[in-house]
């Protein structure tokens, strides 16, 4: 494969959604080498006009022939759309980076977090999967420690914002909060129950083993990304009335004892991580402060009182940014830098 030296011809599928809009913002902020940008969505959004910098681009309906002359296709339009269009885009010569769950556990498709397993990008056969938002922030925080002291077990409880469900959920939280504060009755639509001033330990569907699909994604995706099938993982995922940013309370059991100070030292030097950990001044990660930032924040690092070789920590990150769009763009950047993108668009 050749380096795309004259800029990439990029397409965004699902361009009008929250992640699609974040794709556009990040591509511009990071000065991604764009030769051209095409925006696609469903027939409901086709015809909308989106400003990209000072340029107005008309959103087109995604079609089978949308990917001619495209170098990189960023997908954020749901699993069914990805299952249909991603193979067509790859066949046309584009590198597909897909944010849905459609390809994550496919053995032929790399599942990538650049801070952890960037080398897996090279193995792609046209499609690369972007992991689940809660998985991304957890492995960014844990992998630097795992390299030094192999992890044996992870127990995690997530506190996931409504933006992970999409625009409709954000609007519902806003409306419900106003209704409750005014003394009215709430009728839920997006979730099974009221989300305002409430917590819902149900994200995605329940499986036969009692876990939800979201919880099982954390288990399977973490093992695949870290190339560590032996790690025992248990997760409980909770939807919380927060607009943006996911939080995680993580218990980790290592092979050997690791003092909290050693973990802080390792993480303070780790790519993509920022340590905020001083309980004397109430310094720790918070969802509100993570919004719009790139880092995975780690704090409350302490020895686990329940077993000798354990640590407990609190991890927070913007789920729309690092948990979705930014991670995908970082994959694209790495692929371009290493010459792992076929230069289709510039040849036509």
Q: Tell whether 123 and 152 lie within a shared domain.
A: no
In angstroms, rounded to a whole number, what is the distance separating the alpha carbons of residues 121 and 72? Answer: 13
The answer to whether residues 94 and 336 touch, using CB atoms and an 8 Å cutoff, is no
Q: Which two tokens stand for residue 137?
A: 């922030």
In-domain check, residue 1: no
Residue 75: inside a domain, yes or no?
A: yes
- Do 209 and 269 sit in the same domain of this protein? yes
Q: What pLDDT was estimated at residue 346?
A: 47
Q: Is 146 a catalytic residue?
A: no
Q: Are residues 217 and 82 in the same domain?
A: no
Give the domain CATH number at 293: 3.30.360.10
Domain match, 292 and 177 both: yes
What's the domain count of the chain?
2
Which pLDDT score is estimated for 343? 65
Residue 3 lies in a domain: no
Q: Answer yes or no: do 273 and 126 share one domain.
A: no
Catalytic residue among 9, 124, 146, 246: 246
Same domain (yes/no): 256, 239: yes
Query: Do both 268 and 226 map to the same domain?
Result: yes
Instruction: Examine the domain organization and report whether 170 and 232 are in the same domain.
Output: yes
DSSP label of 280: G
Among the listed residues 9, 124, 133, 146, the single catalytic one is 133
Please, which residues have CB within 8 angstroms of residue 278's CB and are 6 or more apart in sequence?
A: none
Backbone φ and ψ of 298, nearest 5°: -130, 135
pLDDT tens digits in sequence order for the chain, 348 residues long: 344 557 999 999 999 999 999 999 999 999 999 999 999 999 999 999 999 988 999 999 999 999 999 999 999 999 999 999 999 999 999 999 999 999 999 999 999 999 999 999 999 999 999 999 999 999 999 999 999 999 999 999 999 999 999 999 999 999 999 999 999 999 999 999 999 999 999 999 999 999 999 999 999 999 999 999 999 999 999 999 999 999 999 999 999 999 999 999 999 999 999 999 999 999 999 999 999 999 999 999 999 999 999 999 999 999 999 999 999 999 999 999 999 997 665 444
Which residues share a beta bridge with 233?
Answer: 154
Q: Are residues 257 and 331 in the same domain?
A: no
Question: What angle, 0 to 180 degrees and rounded to 10, lies between the N-to-C axes of helices 326-337 and 18-29?
Answer: 40
pLDDT value at residue 2: 40
Verify that 181 and 263 share a domain, yes or no: yes
Same domain, yes or no: 108 and 191: no
**Structural domain range at position 123:** 8-131+324-347
Closest CA to 145 of 260, 58, 44: 260
- Assigned domain for 247 exists: yes
Q: What is the DSSP letter of 21?
A: H
Q: What is the pLDDT of residue 6?
A: 75
CB 75 within 8 A of CB 102: no
Residue 176, judged by CB atoms within 10 A of its CB (0-12, 13-18, 19+), counts as: buried
Tell whether 174 is covered by a domain: yes
Q: Is there a contact between 40 and 34 (Cβ–Cβ < 8 Å)?
A: no
């Amino acid at each position: 494969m050749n380096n795309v030296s004259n800029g990439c011809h990029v397409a965004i599928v699902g361009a009008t959604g929250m992640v699609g809009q974040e794709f556009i913002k990040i591509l511009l902020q990071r000065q991604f080498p764009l030769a051209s940008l095409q925006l696609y969505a469903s027939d409901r959004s086709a015809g909308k006009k989106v400003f990209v910098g000072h340029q107005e681009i008309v959103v087109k309906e995604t079609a089978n022939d949308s990917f001619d002359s495209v170098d990189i296709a960023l997908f954020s339009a749901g699993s069914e759309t990805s299952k249909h269009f991603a193979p067509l885009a790859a066949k046309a010569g584009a590198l597909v980076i897909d944010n849905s769950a459609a390809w994550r556990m496919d053995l032929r498709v790399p599942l990538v977090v650049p801070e952890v397993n960037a080398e897996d990008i090279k193995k792609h056969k046209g499609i690369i999967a972007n992991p689940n938002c809660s998985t991304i922030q957890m492995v960014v925080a844990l992998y630097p420690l795992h390299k030094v002291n192999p992890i044996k077990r992870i127990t995690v409880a997530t506190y996931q914002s409504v933006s992970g469900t999409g625009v409709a959920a954000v609007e519902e939280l806003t409306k419900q909060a106003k209704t409750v504060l005014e003394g009215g009755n709430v009728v839920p639509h997006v979730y099974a129950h009221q989300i305002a001033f409430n917590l819902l330990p149900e994200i995605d569907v329940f499986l036969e083993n009692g876990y939800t699909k979201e919880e099982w994604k954390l288990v399977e995706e973490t093992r695949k990304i870290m190339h560590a099938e032996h790690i025992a993982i248990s997760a409980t995922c909770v939807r919380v009335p927060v607009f943006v940013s996911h939080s995680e309370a993580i218990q980790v059991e290592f092979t050997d004892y690791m003092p909290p100070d050693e973990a802080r030292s390792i993480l303070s030097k780790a790519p993509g991580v920022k340590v905020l950990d001083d309980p004397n001044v109430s310094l720790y990660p918070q969802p509100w402060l993570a919004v719009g930032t790139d880092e995975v924040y780690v704090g409350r690092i302490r020895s686990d009182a329940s077993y000798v070789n354990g640590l407990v920590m609190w991890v927070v990150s913007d789920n729309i940014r690092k948990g979705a769009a930014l991670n995908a763009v970082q994959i694209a950047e790495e692929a371009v830098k290493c010459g792992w993108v076929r230069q289709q668009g510039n040849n036509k």
